[in-house]
Homo-oligomer: A and B are copies of this chain.
């Protein structure tokens, strides 16, 4: 009897590949530079605690997260690592920063004042990273604030400034003029903080110039196997595989439609597989009639709209003797299709594929 074997998609995360990626980045920046790890958004969907544990074993000492909840999850798992919160300091949650030894990345005078007050309350200068806006205009001290601060650094008295940072906006593009400009703007500020670490690079920046590395780099996507040099081959190892189970195979006749809105019409009789995952699982609705899954290397295009929990793909290209059956798994991300390739189908974005990965998948951590 050939009944289905399971109903869940399988998300495999190769921890050896992750660790290898970390070592590649450490080799790239050299011994004088620390490789921190960006673990926000649950380590881009791969599981922050498990990823964090693997990276600690490689010597990683600093984790970056976006928000307090993420920091608390990591602190509960790891006693000694340094944890910095990129989205900054929040008054209502202030005492938790001290209690759990968390470091805010401060980027406004408002935060500086609030954090100084917290230090007064606790009777010591508390550790902070400072973020300077170098024209990305998202977070960080703006140019006017920066000038004001540099003209009177005593406004930082009462804060233990451990690190000064900025963030590249366009380092994914070769020779984008903003990259060098951001470097120069950051450098002008950084020299005023001789005792603090300096950090500028995201994954892309690491590969643009050794000059950008400073004391610490902050890769995220490169650790997880995405390509930090989009203009050329990916130097990183692929970390994740996503495979989805077929729950139904059927033949449809010419003229048949499939899915909501009957948006796809078959011009000839075709074999169709229905897979047990849809846009509620982090596949994107925009991939309807656009993306593809793979079976033994055969590219099987998505037909019709994605449903919330189901996706239908065309098996016509697969020779009859090799046709998959219910219970077989189709490759979504794997040897034949990278996360970036799948993410971009339907006009999407490669990182978004990772951060949308479903809680309904079975997560399997593998070592080679």
Is there an interface contact between B349 and A170, defined as CB atoms closer than 8 Å?
no
> Bound complex: CA of A287 vs CA of B86, how far in Å?
23
Is there an interface contact between B139 and A248, defined as CB atoms closer than 8 Å?
yes
Interfacial residues of chain A within 130-181, with CB under 8 A of chain B in the complex: 133, 135-139, 142, 169-170, 172-173, 178
- State the Cβ distance, A274 to closest chain B Cβ, in Å: 6
In the bound complex, residues from chain B placing their C-beta under 8 Å from that of A250 are 133, 137, 142
Binary CB contact string for chain A from 89 to 112 against chain B (1 if under 8 A, 0 otherwise)? 111110000000000000110110
The verdict on A28 contacting chain B, using a C-beta distance below 8 Å, is: no
Is there an interface contact between A139 and B169, defined as CB atoms closer than 8 Å?
no
How many copies, total?
2
Chain A contact surface mostly: loop
Is there an interface contact between A347 and B286, defined as CB atoms closer than 8 Å?
yes
- State the Cβ distance, A193 to closest chain B Cβ, in Å: 21
> Bound complex: CA of A257 vs CA of B134, how far in Å?
11
In the bound complex, residues from chain B placing their C-beta under 8 Å from that of A260 are 136, 169-170, 172
How many residues does chain A have at the interface if contact means C-beta atoms less than 8 Å apart? 81
The verdict on A1 contacting chain B, using a C-beta distance below 8 Å, is: yes
Binary CB contact string for chain A from 274 to 290 against chain B (1 if under 8 A, 0 otherwise)? 10100110001110000
Is there an interface contact between A136 and B259, defined as CB atoms closer than 8 Å?
yes
Interfacial residues of chain A within 242-274, with CB under 8 A of chain B in the complex: 247-248, 250-252, 256-262, 272, 274
Binary CB contact string for chain A from 61 to 105 against chain B (1 if under 8 A, 0 otherwise)? 000001111100000000000000011111111000000000000
Which residue of B107, B274, B327, B349 contacts A138 across the interface (Cβ within 8 Å)? B274
Known: A69-B8, A348-B285. A169 touches B137 (CB 8 A): no
Interfacial residues of chain A within 20-41, with CB under 8 A of chain B in the complex: 40-41
In the bound complex, residues from chain B placing their C-beta under 8 Å from that of A69 are 8, 360
